[in-house]
Amino acid sequence: MADDLGYGDLGCYGQKRIKTPNLDRLAAEGIRFTQAYAGCTVCAPSRSAFMTGYHTGHTRIRGNGRNEMLLRPSDFVLPELFKKAGYTTGMFGKWGLGGVGYPGYPTKKGWDTFFGFFSQLQAHMYYPDMLLDGDHALELTGNWGGKKKQYAPDLFLDRSLKFLDANQSKPFFLYFASTIPHANNELGRDSGDGIEIPEDAPYSGEPWPPLERKFAATITRLDRDIGRLLDKLKQLGLDSNTLVFFSSDNGPHQEGGHDPKYFESSGPLRGTKRSLTEGGIRVPFLARWPAKIKPGQVSDHPFAFWDMMATCAELTNQVAPKDTDGLSILPALTGGKPKVHDYFYWEFHEGGFQQALRVGNWKYVKPALYDLAQDVNETTDLAKQFPEIVSRMETLLLSVRTESADFPVRR
């Protein structure tokens, strides 16, 4: 799971200047989805949808904010599903769904091994003073006193590789949740440069703004990390029968001084992170499984993060919780015909209350209406031309969500 990576940031999705050879190879050796949707347009609710199988009208976490009291004991999540099937589970990187001492903390939600950030705010830092290692804090003394010697994404990769070594002889579920290419927002406010990375290679000689060189370098570094994970699977003889998913939690950011237009990070889509237009919620999504997935495929099957619970349940011969919102995409991976959603729904609670629906190719970003088949970048509002469709969308909005005391509607 990348953090704030845009639909257009990878070579296999049209990026021309940032090098992503390993992810491009992953796409070529598997399947590339062109209509995959994140759970939301910011990280915590998006990851909540991914983990719980509920869209943002039903999932527990519907916005960023206080992390300490988020997931409840009753919230069933993917690692708990895998544990029921006998898998060993490990996550490395950004959790953001529950803090130390609370029911949503990773080791209380099915993760056998956890190393990383539990909160959104802490996860802005690439050179933190400490990280959470299971139920304990690990002090990163190499970063004390303003020093920058221990780069968090590198530490997450190292632990992930060790997890694969340790669990190669049994079923495992590894969640590598890198913080790349999220900005350090606090640093960006102070200096205008919130992109942190040890070096800007291989772009040091490019005539780009220094911050954009570093932004590109973060993505190529993430690509390198994915390549090392794929190489490790091959080295251990696990390559053929391991299913690898890759995606991003929402659209590209414009934080820390970075301009998402510089590399056309949204690709052909309009909008970025914090927008419910396609650029904010349509994300890259790749799947590779040599034993089951034919290489070189491109699929326009529309699905969303809340489909992962149903998909992983089917993969592990289990039944997904009956009231979740998802449909399994396993048939789309293995050459079958997957079920299609009647609708997709998103809500967003920052800067007022926003809602969006997709029904077929109609996209309603309230109060605007778009035809994605003809207008994927959502430039022509058709609401006045098709009032009957707007009326149907408004009627649907009355039934697609439940009220939340923690994320109430504020109009």
Q: Peptide bond preceding 181: is omega within 30 degrees of 0, i.e. cis?
A: yes
pLDDT the model gives residue 188: 79
CA distances from 188 to 194, 256, 257 (A): 4, 4, 6
- Do 52 and 84 meet the contact criterion of CB atoms below 8 Å apart? no
Q: Of the candidates 2, 178, 158, 175, which has an alpha carbon nearest to the alpha carbon of residue 93?
A: 178
Q: Residues in the chain with pLDDT < 70?
A: 66-69, 411
In a domain, 394, yes or no: no
β-strand partners of 134:
none
What per-residue confidence (pLDDT) applies to 66? 58
Residue 170, in any domain of the structure: yes
3-state SS assignment for residue 159: helix
pTM across the whole model: 0.97
Q: What is the DSSP-derived secondary structure letter of residue 248?
A: B
Q: What local confidence, expressed as pLDDT, does residue 286 receive?
A: 99
The answer to the question of residue 402 being in a domain is no
Output the CA angle 37-30-115, nearest 5 degrees: 65
Q: How many domains, in total, are found in the chain?
A: 1
- Looking at residue 189, what is its pLDDT? 84
Structural domain includes residue 162: yes
Long-range interactions of 125-134: CB distance < 8 A, separation 24+: 125/152, 125/184, 125/186, 126/151, 126/152, 126/153, 126/179, 126/184, 126/196, 126/197, 127/151, 127/152, 127/196, 128/152, 131/155, 132/100, 134/107
On the CB side of 363, CA atoms within 13 Å amount to: 25
Is 287 part of any domain?
A: yes
Q: What is the pLDDT of residue 119?
A: 85
Q: Is residue 71 part of a domain?
A: yes
**For residue 73, which phi and psi values (nearest 5 degrees)?**
-55, -30
Q: What pLDDT shows up at residue 121?
A: 81
In a domain, 370, yes or no: no
**Domain CATH for 164:** 3.40.720.10
Give the separation between CA 402 and CA 383, rounded to whole angstroms. 26
Q: Which is it for the CA torsion 23, 375, 343, 44, positive or negative?
A: positive
Answer whether 378's CB lies under 8 Å from 270's CB.
Answer: yes
Whether 268 is covered by a domain: the verdict is yes
The parent domain of residue 127 ranges over 11-341
